[in-house]
Amino acid sequence: MTAPSPIEVHDVSLRYRLDRANVGTIKEAAVRTLRRQRTVESIHALDGVSFSVERGEIFGVVGPNGAGKSTLMKIIARVLPPTSGRVVVRGQVAPMIELGSGMNPELTARENIIIYGALLGRDPRHMRDRVEAIVEWAGVEEFVDVPTRSFSSGMMARLAFGVATDIQPEVLVVDEVLSVGDKAFRAKSQARMFELINGGSAVVVVSHSIPLLQEVSTRAMWLDRGRIKMLGTAGEVLDGYQASG
């Protein structure tokens, strides 16, 4: 008997109503309603997407801007509920999407590690014990009790990456994260990612960098305007996407 897939996406669609006029205030809405100017339309951010990702697999997602890649990441990370279809994610999810935004600049690195860990669903007592290891990995040991306001963006990214990857999550969601930081950080974070993959995580990577995806991913999906254009081995999908220009 094989274990069920960590990520299963069945016929998922996400629609939302968007007001073209971008009505932002009650006053504007009232005026527009009186003038019958409301122009609401339904947007299909994702349309009937199905796939699954197995343990130890690195699943690359490519597509032009607005194809629904980030929406898909949010659906897997449970942030957005699908309008129709079904998503099943088994295990802890460590999302690594635009790192550092969960950190408060007024708080110290130590306080931020504990809060950020708690936001990711981890026990604060456990996080307290992990602070030393995380700051060491991020290379900010000397600044553990300094407000992160004075940190460089690279230090923030390393710290956030260190917290997110401090556990062996069953599912790792990576959105363009490897393009931040210097060469040394990229190498270090890639090494950490491979550690997690070898440990059995299912990884979904979204990136515009075809060479990076070609190097790391095992399977890939090409999204275009919310639909799957191609789904298969990394080689064929990425070649196909590149050939399309």
Partner 1 sequence: MTAVQSTVVYDSDLRRRPLITEFQNFWRYRGLIRLLVIRDLTVRYKRSVLGVWWTILNPMLTIAVLWIVFSNFFGRGGVLGEPYVVYLTAGILMATYFSQGVIAAGSAIVNSRNILIKIYIPPEIFSLSAGVAAATHFVLSLLPLFILQLATGQGIPWTVVLVPIPLVFMLMLVTGLGLLIASAAVYFRDVLDISRVVTQLLNYLIPTFWTIDFIEGTKAEIIVQANPVYSFLVVFRWWVYGGPTPPAWTLLMMAGASVAALVLGVYVFSRNWRRVVVRL
Give me the residues that bind partner 1 (CB under 8 A), please: 16, 23-27, 29, 74-75, 77-82, 85-93, 95, 97-98, 101-102, 104, 106-107, 111, 114-115, 118-124, 126, 130, 147, 165-170, 195-196, 199
Q: Are 19 and 38 in contact (CB under 8 A)?
A: yes
Burial 224-239 (b: 16+ CB within 10 A, else e): bebbbbbbeebeebbe
143 vs 85: CA distance, rounded Å:
46
Q: How far is the CB of 99 from partner 1 (least distance, A)?
A: 9
237 vs 25: CA distance, rounded Å:
44
Q: How far is the CB of 62 from partner 1 (least distance, A)?
A: 21
Q: Are 157 and 185 in contact (CB under 8 A)?
A: yes
Choice between 79 and 187, CB closer to partner 1? 79
Burial 126-153 (b: 16+ CB within 10 A, else e): ebeebbeebbebbbbeebbeeebeebee
Q: How far is the CB of 34 from partner 1 (least distance, A)?
A: 16
Choice between 58 and 89, CB closer to partner 1? 89
Choice between 173 and 237, CB closer to partner 1? 173
Choice between 170 and 222, CB closer to partner 1? 170
Choice between 58 and 77, CB closer to partner 1? 77
β-strand pairing of 93-97 with 171-175: parallel
Helix axis angle, 124-138 to 153-164, nearest 10°: 130
